[in-house]
Structure 1
């Protein structure tokens, strides 16, 4: 089994979290896939962003705020 690092972006509302996870690769038809821990990490980040708990979300990676560049 091989694993490689991948940056995943979790978008919720006006926030985006940049979270590093490991993709697991093997000879099965399910490859590549996330470990349960990394899948739960992404779920936790999404829930923290949904509740606007930026401190909790920031434990897992960088947090960005999205803003419109041009108002119409």
Structure 2
């Protein structure tokens, strides 16, 4: 079993967050997959962005605001 770091993007409304997670690679058919703690972390970030609670989201991720460049 190998673990490697990966950045997942979570987009919610006008925000996008970069969340660091670990991918677990095995010889099984469902590889690679996330640890349960990382799944909860992604859910927490998504929920915080939905509420507009950027401070809470930044506990687990780097958060950015999306700005359109063309009308």
1:13-52 aligned within 5 A:
13-52=13-52
Distance in structure 1 (CA, Å) of the matches to 2:24 and 2:70:
40
| Cα-Cα RMSD | 0.6
Q: TM-score, normalised to structure 2's length?
A: 0.97
Q: TM-score, normalised to structure 1's length?
A: 0.96
Aligned residues: 71
- Structure 1 SS opposite 2:42: helix
**Gap regions ≥5 residues in structure 2:** none
**Gap regions ≥5 residues in structure 1:** none
